[in-house]
Structure 1
Amino acid sequence: MKNLKPGLTEMIVHLGHDDAELRAVTVDHPDFGSAWRQRDYDIVTGPEFKKAIEENHVILVKWKDLKKLLN
């Protein structure tokens, strides 16, 4: 995050829990399966991620906020 330039940056994460249900629906997709989605979840909900957002003055927005800006 510290290398981001001012402006809009999109970060895509695929959150999920590494449980039986998600393992069942991602069984043929090892590159984006349940363990990978659990790691994404753990990172973005962890204190280090929150600290990095604050330290780098990142402003989180929702899609509806962007829609308002584009209209």
Structure 2
Amino acid sequence: MAQYVIAIDQGTTSSRAIIFDKAGSIVSTGQLEHAQIFPQAGWVEHDPMEIWNNTREVIGQALSKANLTRHDIAAV
């Protein structure tokens, strides 16, 4: 039975996945930084495919660290 929740934190400099148990305690995390693209002064852009791939990777990292599978996750 799925007993964990994954939160995805998409920030300006990195993607992070955090797995919580039913008590709200952090079980595991995964994090990857992504490139900052500065097309002109005062602007910042990101590559959407890099963010997508990083998000998939950090979820995998967090699951692996906690020895969990997608079947253990009740919600995102």
User: Structure 2 length normalisation: TM-score?
Assistant: 0.28
- The higher relative CO (CA closer than 8 Å, separation ≥ 6) is in 2
The structure that has the greater radius of gyration is 1
Structure 1 or 2: more helix by fraction: 1
Structure 1 or 2: more strand by fraction: 2
